[in-house]
Every structure is written in C-alpha cells, then in structure tokens.
Structure 1
Amino acid sequence: MAQAAPTTGGMTRGGRTPDIFSARTHTRARIAISVVTGLIYGDWVAANRRAGGPITGWNLLTGFVSAIVFAVVLWAVMTYAPRLPRELHAAVWAAFAGIAFGFLYSSSGDAILRSIGMALTVAFVTLILMFYRFYTHEDAAGHRIR
C-alpha cells in the first residue's frame, strides 16, 4: 500500500511557522512585557523590604524605583542583546538575572555574602542555559534561526 510522502506547506514555510504579527506589535509586546514584569519585580522588592510590617512611603518608593529600573533594563536587554554574539548575549542575560536576583535576595535582609553567593549561582546557571539555547538556535555562521 502506498502512502504520500510528507511535504512542507500549508501553515508552514520551510519548516517554520509564519510570523503573523508586525514589527510594531512585537515592539509593543516587548514594552508591555517589560512594564508588567517590572511591576511584579517592584512589588516583590517592596514586600521583601517590608518583611510583613506596615506599608510605608519609603517602602512604596523603593518598589516603584525598583520597578522602573528593572523594566528599563529588561527592555534594553530584550532590545539590544540579540544583536550581540551568542557568548556576549548569554553573558548579558546572566548578568541581568544575577544582579536582579541578588538585589531581590538582599532586600529580604539576609547577609550580604549569602546574597552575593546566591546571585553568582543564579548568574552561572543562567549563563549555561542561555549559551546552550543560543548555541542550539544558531547556524554555524552565528546567524539566528528564526
């Protein structure tokens, strides 16, 4: 009994799904992701600083400033890091994750050396995972496979 050979076509082109959103939509989504993630991060920092106590003005200020800084840096990493070679791209994400986690952990009031150790651990794991991801999603010449 004969069967038809599999072909590419239909919804995919060249084995990939088509990009149905415009560049403008991707830009807006990048900004929205940065803002929402920044608000969550700022709230988390404020909650760690408060340590179950009452909400104060300084606590709110710390949360909002943390949210703004986190959102701006996340947007910058998401926008400019893909232009870098895979090693630097992974290093930028590792530095961002390590610094963000270290600040979040230190805001809970633990010892600074423990915060540094945890941040370095998170940064190292992020570096390994991101390098692997970028390495497996690029061709031999270093071009991203989309």
Structure 2
Amino acid sequence: MAHAAPTPTGYNAAGLPDVFSLRTHKIMHWALPIGLGLVYGYWVAAINRDGGPVTGWNVLLGFASTAAFALAWIAVRAVAPLMMRELHAVLWAAFSGCAFGFLYSQTGESIVRSVMMSLVITASVFAVMFYRYYTHEDAEGHRVS
C-alpha cells in the first residue's frame, strides 16, 4: 500500500526551518531599529560626556541620536529594497558611514579624521553589501532563494 510522503511544515522557501512565528517577525521588525537606536544613542551620549557628569543636554543628545538613528534605519530599510543592487548597497553604506562619522565626531578628533574614518567604513560596507546583493540576485535584480 503506497502512501504520500509527509511534507515538512514550518520551512521557508529556501528549505530552512522557520523557527520564529509571523508575530515574532513583526515585533522584531520594529524592535530591532529601536533597540539598536537606544544602544547608539547611549553610545553617542557616553562619548560626548567624556567621563563628566550626566547633564540634561547629554540626555537630550542621546535621545535625539536614538530617534535619528532609528528613523533613518526604518527609512533605509523601507526604500533600499526598491532600488537596484548598486543603489541598494550605496544607501546602506551611506547610512553606516553617516552613523559612524557622527559617532566618531563626538570623540573630539578633527573633522578631517572623522570624515576619513567614515569614508573607510562606507567603502567597506559598500563592498560587503554589493557582494551580498550581487550574489543573491539574478540579472534582473530579483532575489534568488
């Protein structure tokens, strides 16, 4: 007697197990930029404080940096997939370079050093992201599973 082979449930299109539910993915869609924004804002405020006392302006700088980082992350995440792979990589590289450059500028180093360091980060992120998008898309720019 022949039976149909059981099909695995809980797997995505790539054949990998989908460990998290749809609800978890939706929560993390918003929790990740906000959580990383909080870490970034605290980091900016801590570097700017330079071991001195915590002031109201320092706290305001931290929360403003948190909001700017999280909103920029959400905007880049929404817009970048609509672009072709080169612009997709450029957008994430620019976001990373700007975030790092602002963070590095809080150390008190010269603006030239801050710009040079952020350009290195931007170029590195562009190379990695372009390679990733180039190897995960077909010639028309559609994602390959």
State the TM-score, normalized to the length of structure 2. 0.86
1:13-68 residue CA offsets vs partner (Å, 9 max, x unmatched): 7653265643x643431210000000000000000100111111110000000001
Unpaired runs of at least 5, structure 2: 1-6
Q: State the identity as a percent.
A: 50
Unpaired runs of at least 5, structure 1: 1-8
1:73-130 residue CA offsets vs partner (Å, 9 max, x unmatched): 1111122211211101000000000000000000111111000000111001100100
Query: Which residue matches 2:137?
Result: 138
Write the distance in 2 (CA, Å) between the matches of 1:25 and 1:72. 21
Equivalent runs, 1:109-128 vs 2, <5 Å? 109-128=108-127
Query: Which residue matches 1:52?
Result: 51
Query: Which residue matches 1:99?
Result: 98
* 3-state SS in 2 of match to 1:67: helix
Write the distance in 2 (CA, Å) between the matches of 1:121 and 1:141. 30
Instruction: Output the aligned Cα RMSD.
Output: 1.9
Equivalent runs, 1:51-90 vs 2, <5 Å? 51-90=50-89
Write the distance in 2 (CA, Å) between the matches of 1:76 and 1:44. 22
